[in-house]
Amino acid sequence: MAKERSPLQPIPQRPEAAQTLLALLHAQGEVARLSERDQLFSSLLDSVNAVLWAFDWETRQVLYVSPAYERIYGRSASLLMADFNQWRDAIHPDDLDHAERSLAQVLVKGTVEDREYRIINADGQVRWLSDKCYINQRRKGERVIIVGIAEDITDKKHLEGELKRLATTDVLTQSSNRRHFFECAHHAFDRARENGTPLSFLLLDIDDFKLINDSYGHPEGDQVLQRIADSGKTILRRGDLFGRIGGEEFAAVFPGCEAEVAEQIAERLQREIQRLSFSHGQERFGVTVSQGLTSLRNEDTSLDSLFARADAAMYEAKRMGKNQIVSG
C-alpha cells in the first residue's frame, strides 16, 4: 500500500528541467531586447538627416547606406549599392573633382572631416553635404573599408550666404556697402602693385540730392539711389567693383584699366544716368552726377592716395558746375 505524502512535504525538484526553463526564459528576454534595440536603431537612422555609409576601396562597392540616402538624394539605395557611379553621377559637376580627391585623402590621413560638396538630387534640387569619412582600423592584408556620415547642410549654407550678403551689401541699393567695397578695393590695389598692372578709381556724387529729398520726399530719393546703382551694375565691366560708400556717394574700381578706358566707362555711366527719368505725381524730373576719376601712379603706396585724388577731383567737378567728370 502506497504511503500518502503529507501536504507539508515539498514536491521533489528536477534541476535539469528548471535550468532549461530559466535558459529559455533568458533567451526569450535577450531576443526581445535585441529586437527592441534593432527597432530603436532603425528608428534613429530614419530620423537622422544624414547618410551613414560604408565603402570598399578596392572593389569600389558601397557596402551599406542608411535610409536617409533615398530621402536626401531621391535615388535608389539598391542601385547605389550595385553601382558606385550612382554617387558620382549625383555630385554637382563643379564639385566632383574635389569630392573624389578628398575621399582619396582618407587613405593618407585616416580621417577627412572638412569635405563639403554639392549634389543634384533626383528632383533637380541642389543640396549641400558635409561628408566626413574615416578609414577602418585594419590588419595587414585586410581590405580597406571607408565609413562616413554625410550631413545635409543646405539650410546652413543658405543662412551663411544670407548673413554674408547682409554683411557685404547695401540694403537699399543691393550694391556693395562701404566696408565691403573698400575691403575689395584694397585687395585690388595690392594685386595691381604686385603685378604692375593698371588700376583706376572713380567717385560719383549725386548733384543736389538734398533738394530731391526735400522736393519729392525720401521715397523718391531712395528710388534715385536704386536706379543709379542699377546703372552702375549695367555699365561697369565684369570684374569691376562698385558700391555705395555714403548717403548719395558711390565709388568704383577698375582693375587692369588704363586711364583712357576708365574715362570712357565713366562717360558711358554719365550718359546712362542722364537718361534716367523719375516721376512725382504729374511732375517728371531727372538727375545728374559729378564724378572724380584717377589712376594708379608709381608713387602711390596705398589706396588712400587714389581715394584722396578722386575725392578732390569730384569736388572740383561740383565747383565747375556739376554734371561732369574731372580727372585728377
Amino acid occupying residue 302: S
Active-site residue flag, 162: no
- Three-state SS string over the chain comes to CCCCCCCCCCCCCCHHHHHHHHHHHHHHHHHHHHHHHHHHHHHHHHHCCEEEEEEECCCCEEEEECCHHHHHHCCCHHHHHHCCHHHHHHECHHHHHHHHHHHHCHHHHCEECCCEEEEECCCCCEEEEEEEEEECCCCCCCCCEEEEEEEECHHHHHHHHHHHHHHHECCCCCCECHHHHHHHHHHHHHHHHHHCCCEEEEEEEECCHHHHHHHHCHHHHHHHHHHHHHHHHHHCCCCCEEEECCCCEEEEEEECCCHHHHHHHHHHHHHHHHCCCEEECCEEECCCEEEEEEECCCCCCCHHHHHHHHHHHHHHHHHCCCCCEEEC
Cα dist from 127 to 11, 88, 144, 147, 158, whole Å: 72, 14, 29, 21, 10
Q: What is the spatial distance between Cα 92 and Cα 246, in angstroms, rounded to a whole number? A: 40
Options 116, 220, 248, 249, the catalytic residue: 248
Cα-flanking dihedrals φ and ψ of residue 280, to 5°?
Answer: -140, 100
* Active site positions, annotated: 248
